Amino acid sequence: MDLPIKRISAHARREKSIRHGHISTLHIWWARRPLAACRAVICASLWPDPADELCPEAFRKTARAEMTKWARQNLGLLGQESFPRFNRLAKNGKKLDDNVEIRKALFDFIADFANWDNSTVKEYLETARALTQTAHEALGGASGSRPLIVDPFAGGGSIPLEALRVGADAFASDLNPIAVLLNKVVLEYIPMYGQHLADEVRKWGEWIKEAAEKELAEFYPKDPDGATPIAYLWARTINCEGPGCGAEVPILPSRLLEKSRDRSIWINLSGKGGSVHITIHQGSVAEQNLNGTAKRGSVTCPCCGYTTPIARVREQLKKSGGGVKTARLLAVAVVHSKNGVRDYRLPHESDYQALAKAAKEIIRLRYTNPDFFPDETLPLMSGVFNVPLYGHNTWSSLYSDRQLLLLITLCRLVKKVGEKVDSKKDVGFASATVTMLSLAIGKVADYSTSICTWVQSGAFIGHTFAQGQCLPMKFDFAEGVPLVGYSGSWEGAIDWGCRIIEREADALLHVGQSELVSATAQSLPDDTASCLITDPPYYNAVPYADLSDFFYVWHRRTLGSLHSDLFQLKEAPKAEEICEMSGWDPDRYGNKTAAFFENEIGKAFADSRRVLSPTGIGVVVFAHKTTSGWEAMLQALVSAGWTITASWPIDTEMAARLRARNSAVLASSIHLVCRPRENADCTVSKTDIGDWRDVLAELPNRIHDWMPRLADEGVVGADAIFACIGPALEVFSRYSRVEKASGEAVTLKEYLEHVWAAVSKEALKMIFEGADAFGFEEDARLTAMWLWTVATTEKEESLTAEGAEEEDEKIKKKTTGGFSLEYDAARKIAQGLGAHLEDLGHLVEIQGETAVLLPVAARTRYLFGKDSTEAPRGRPKKKDKQLTLGFEGELKQIEEESGDWTGEFKGKAGKTVLDQVHQSMILFAAGRSEALKRFLVEDGIGRNFLFWRLAQSLSALYPTSTNEKRWVDGVLARKKGLGF
């Protein structure tokens, strides 16, 4: 079935800001898929299209009845999103009798069900399950059985969770033990034990809190005035290498402690007598004046002014194993008991005494219980884990003594719970309880390392993986007090986990299954699954196994005996992990090249096809930054015996962010729909040979059919290009081999070039609304197609607060910096339009992997200069000038140079229509209305209808916030006045 892409995407993006009860708050897992997208995709995979001639009549009948019932029942439930179709039906008591109408009703249902708020509402669940059940039986499933959905790359469990929700069975596997653990909770524990589990976890969570408070009280003393410390703010230190100095200097990027609307709090550092003194201040001050001692890793001494370079800073920290032991406590954030006000103070003697006690306790534990310590290696991975560059070579080295003591205590208490809960009654229930408690330790650990920084704008502790899938070095850090209910608290971790159980308890009817196994050798028998829905690793985006060791080393210590199948190894298994990572770590992963990735992912696709029933359906999520990555994945899928039939670009926050950067637009997540290309006996067919001429003839028709449907859904630009890949590939991948007349096989790569061309041509037809796009020169065609591809419509709204600042910068840049595309994508688009990037240097600038469509202002000299072959590119001197002059200044300069400066600018008309439109835009922007009039009227440029046609199209294509948009609209506004 098709999908209401736009509406689902909006829900997927909104979901990112939802926290309570969402499985992402159970534990960190990287690059999780939004549940909204998973839910919708699963519905569309399980339910046939009523308007399709092959749809079983039984399903149509149920769909008709269910949709009518649902509409009537839920009129009250339908809020803002209520669709007229349902309202009409409900009010008139009318029947859905047309198959296309039933399809539309199902679309509305799927779109509405994708809403997080509706995902646990009884009426939605019952309707979805009824449809799933009927579809399954109508398509040949045994009566009373449920369709099985498999996900062999299950990760954090979004896909299998949604499979259960819509009434299917779910089988989730992953190579990573932590992923399997998370799936166990979601698919087994929550459906099995529900609210009862949440109650038990809360009970034991409280018990642990009380026990830990008692055990650890002496290490976290309260202030004599009754205030409670909530965070200790530290900085690593170096000894100044200035001649004769040697002062111990805190490495501090910023002196700001807290910034809110009404106050700033900061510290001052002064160097006296060879040591650095600290004072705390409050008032109003500009943030930029609060620079600390460190700038890009080099450290300037407040005593002597000498700057110790980064290489030496690194050396010094390396010597002390990361510098946590030699860090200095700068300040303590406290909350006053009387009024709850937050305050900052300098360290007290009692703080140092507590720290000394913790250090002593750690020495004792190291002696008595060395196994408690996660001393497993933390490997250096270029650009991913850079903390080892500073001496953090073991996981335990990331923590201070007191942080270690806290985590070790929690682990010990969780294990004790394991002994105390009555496992005689129900072993599974006891395991579930202890597993949930251990996951809470994972959450606390994430907030308890020496790379957690203090977030000054909100006065809370940022977590270890705040920057995503990496471990970047931080010189200053905030140590929390997880037993008081502040950021990263134990109580909070328990609560987040329990809220998920409580929310989903009633929504998941039956139990799923999870297993630790590689996707390349799955354990299910042949032909058992109805659907394969999966989100495989993205080439080299996330090193899951290495990242997961951060948690694995703790969970193995608490859960090793409970889940002995998951924690046999000292670290998470790596050898079979599918990821291209030779570049990150050539020593350990020299073999994990692009070829390894392609080979292994191919095996996984082949084994997935084996597991799927011959009539089953597959959906594979792809998110790649490069066209070559795409081609490799598609090739692997086709070679593994799959026919691709459709593709849904469903927007996720990640895609939106990459998009907003206005580059790498091809990073949208695409759901590729595919089916096994098998003979009746389930062997892959090898003998159906396609004729290249037929394939080529069918391609444009396919694209022609699809594009308008996408446009109706609001899908444009790169999303539309990818949405066309599915149908385009169906034409090709239904054959085991496509041959030219000579008998030579056509490669997928060659075919994809044709797909790009066909898509570009079709898109242009739409852009120019029926006008013959080929009436325009190649520069106009390329510009139009380019702008269409980078179209950012609405996407920027979905940025999260944390990303917004960074994005703002980028968006600002966009208004002056042109429009960029991945070079290879740009090349393909150009080629598809019969244009050559290499000949268009005055329009497009190539910067390494990126191609930039120049901003119009940057074309001033090319358009008006004496020698119009002068490209802005390759003339650095002129370009420098241009930057300082701005285009108005440059225009003036050109006039002076040409010697015809009479106060009436006489620019000659450009060669192409695009050049002419750009010229008039520049004249408009420079306020030269007389010159613009002469240009359009006297020179006759405005009499060419193509000129206005192009201006009109460009007005629709330039993003709203750009100069270009304002300028072209300015030109268009004069059209009538000038008599055209």
Cα distance from N-terminal residue to C-terminal residue, the chain: 48
Tell me which of ligand SAM, Zn ion, none is bound by residue 535, counting a contact when its beta carbon lies within the kind-specific cut-off of 5 to 8 angstroms: ligand SAM
Q: Smallest distance from the beta carbon of 736 to ligand SAM, in angstroms?
A: 26
Q: Which residues of 613-632 are buried (b: 16+ CB within 10 A; e: fewer)?
A: bbebbbbbbbbbbbbebbbb
Comparing CB distances to Zn ion, the nearer of 240 and 941 is 240
Alpha carbons 969 and 956: distance in angstroms, whole number = 9
313 binds Zn ion (CB under 5 A): no
How many other C-beta atoms can be found within 10 angstroms of the C-beta atom of residue 526?
Answer: 12
Q: How many helices (H) and strands (E) does the chain have?
A: 31, 26
Q: Smallest distance from the beta carbon of 241 to Zn ion, in angstroms?
A: 8
Tell me which of ligand SAM, Zn ion, none is bound by residue 254, counting a contact when its beta carbon lies within the kind-specific cut-off of 5 to 8 angstroms: none
Instruction: Identify the CA nearest to 935 among candidates 958, 915, 919.
Output: 919
Q: Return the residue of 175, 304, 547, 723 that touches ligand SAM, per CB under 6 A.
A: 175
Q: Dig out the tokens for 256 from the structure.
A: 């700001």
Q: Smallest distance from the beta carbon of 175 to ligand SAM, in angstroms?
A: 4
Element (H, E) at 149: strand 148-151
C-alpha R_g of the chain: 32
578 binds Zn ion (CB under 5 A): no
Q: Smallest distance from the beta carbon of 53 to ligand SAM, in angstroms?
A: 34
| DSSP per-residue string spanning 393-422 | -BGGGGS-HHHHHHHHHHHHHHHHHHHHS-
Distances from the Cα of 749 to the Cα of 155, 611, 675, angstroms: 30, 28, 21
Comparing CB distances to ligand SAM, the nearer of 90 and 186 is 186
Which residue number is nearest to ligand SAM in terms of Cβ? Answer: 155
Cβ neighbours for 697, distance < 8 A, ≥ 6 positions apart:
none
349, with CB counted inside 10 A (0-12, 13-18, 19+), is exposed
Q: Return the residue of 11, 13, 22, 33 that touches ligand SAM, per CB under 6 A.
A: 33
Q: Smallest distance from the beta carbon of 292 to ligand SAM, in angstroms?
A: 38
289, with CB counted inside 10 A (0-12, 13-18, 19+), is exposed
Find out whether 314 and 236 touch, Cβ atoms under 8 Å: no
Size of the site for Zn ion (CB under 5 A): 8
179 binds ligand SAM (CB under 6 A): yes
Q: Smallest distance from the beta carbon of 20 to Zn ion, in angstroms?
A: 50
In the sheet that holds 612-622, the strands lie side by side as 513-516, 169-174, 148-151, 529-534, 612-622, 670-676, 642-649
Region from 41-49, 143-151, 194-202, 299-307 binding Zn ion, contact rule CB under 5 A: 299-307
Q: Smallest distance from the beta carbon of 584 to ligand SAM, in angstroms?
A: 15
Q: Return the residue of 149, 303, 432, 619 that touches Zn ion, per CB under 5 A.
A: 303
Of residues 129-168, which lie at the interface with ligand SAM (CB under 6 A)?
Answer: 152-153, 155-156, 158-159
Q: Smallest distance from the beta carbon of 156 to ligand SAM, in angstroms?
A: 3
- Amino acid identity for residue 398 in this structure: L
Tell me which of ligand SAM, Zn ion, none is bound by residue 832, counting a contact when its beta carbon lies within the kind-specific cut-off of 5 to 8 angstroms: none
Comparing CB distances to ligand SAM, the nearer of 322 and 536 is 536
Instruction: Identify the CA nearest to 936 among candidates 961, 960, 913.
Output: 913
Per-residue interface string for the shown chain with ligand SAM, residues 342-381, x marking contact by CB under 6 A: ----------------------------------------
3-state helix, strand, coil in the chain (%, to 5): 50, 15, 35
Of residues 205-264, which lie at the interface with Zn ion (CB under 5 A)?
Answer: 240, 242, 245, 247
Tell me which of Zn ion, ligand SAM, none is bound by residue 414, counting a contact when its beta carbon lies within the kind-specific cut-off of 5 to 8 angstroms: none
Comparing CB distances to Zn ion, the nearer of 240 and 720 is 240
Tell me which of Zn ion, ligand SAM, none is bound by residue 240, counting a contact when its beta carbon lies within the kind-specific cut-off of 5 to 8 angstroms: Zn ion
Q: Smallest distance from the beta carbon of 170 to ligand SAM, in angstroms?
A: 12
- Amino acid identity for residue 906 in this structure: K
Q: Smallest distance from the beta carbon of 312 to Zn ion, in angstroms?
A: 12
Find out whether 668 and 651 touch, Cβ atoms under 8 Å: yes
Helix (H, G, I), strand (E, B) or coil at 480: strand
Comparing CB distances to ligand SAM, the nearer of 175 and 782 is 175
Tell me which of ligand SAM, Zn ion, none is bound by residue 156, counting a contact when its beta carbon lies within the kind-specific cut-off of 5 to 8 angstroms: ligand SAM
Strands 850-853 vs 294-295: parallel, antiparallel or unpaired:
unpaired
Q: Dig out the tokens for 274 from the structure.
A: 């060879």
Comparing CB distances to ligand SAM, the nearer of 171 and 220 is 171
Tell me which of Zn ion, ligand SAM, none is bound by residue 577, counting a contact when its beta carbon lies within the kind-specific cut-off of 5 to 8 angstroms: ligand SAM
Of residues 480-519, which lie at the interface with ligand SAM (CB under 6 A)?
Answer: 518-519
Region from 133-141, 192-200, 574-582, 784-792 binding ligand SAM, contact rule CB under 6 A: 574-582
Half-sphere exposure at residue 854, Cβ-oriented, CA atoms within 13 angstroms: 24
Alpha carbons 302 and 289: distance in angstroms, whole number = 15
Of residues 526-545, which lie at the interface with ligand SAM (CB under 6 A)?
Answer: 535-537, 544
Distances from the Cα of 689 to the Cα of 201, 702, 703, 735, 749, angstroms: 60, 20, 22, 6, 18
Cβ neighbours for 275, distance < 8 A, ≥ 6 positions apart:
247, 248, 303
Comparing CB distances to Zn ion, the nearer of 247 and 837 is 247
Strands 850-853 vs 844-847: parallel, antiparallel or unpaired:
antiparallel
Tell me which of ligand SAM, Zn ion, none is bound by residue 304, counting a contact when its beta carbon lies within the kind-specific cut-off of 5 to 8 angstroms: Zn ion
Q: Return the residue of 7, 32, 104, 949 that touches ligand SAM, per CB under 6 A.
A: 32
Alpha carbons 378 and 116: distance in angstroms, whole number = 38
Q: Dig out the tokens for 224 from the structure.
A: 């004599």
Interior angle at CA 659, CA 653 and CA 662, nearest 5: 155
Q: Return the residue of 9, 16, 29, 891 that touches ligand SAM, per CB under 6 A.
A: 29
Comparing CB distances to ligand SAM, the nearer of 68 and 176 is 176
Q: Return the residue of 473, 578, 844, 921 that touches ligand SAM, per CB under 6 A.
A: 578
Of residues 410-469, which lie at the interface with ligand SAM (CB under 6 A)?
Answer: none
Q: Dig out the tokens for 81 from the structure.
A: 């999103």
Comparing CB distances to ligand SAM, the nearer of 147 and 536 is 536
Comparing CB distances to ligand SAM, the nearer of 302 and 536 is 536
Size of the site for ligand SAM (CB under 6 A): 24
Region from 500-508, 575-583, 744-752, 841-849 binding ligand SAM, contact rule CB under 6 A: 575-583
Q: Return the residue of 15, 446, 577, 651 that touches ligand SAM, per CB under 6 A.
A: 577
Q: Smallest distance from the beta carbon of 520 to ligand SAM, in angstroms?
A: 6
Find out whether 754 and 696 touch, Cβ atoms under 8 Å: yes
Q: Return the residue of 31, 71, 235, 238 that touches ligand SAM, per CB under 6 A.
A: 31
Which residues are near ligand SAM by CB under 6 A?
29, 31-33, 152-153, 155-156, 158-159, 174-176, 179, 518-520, 535-537, 544, 576-578
Residues lying near Zn ion in the complex (CB under 5 A): 240, 242, 245, 247, 301, 303-304, 306
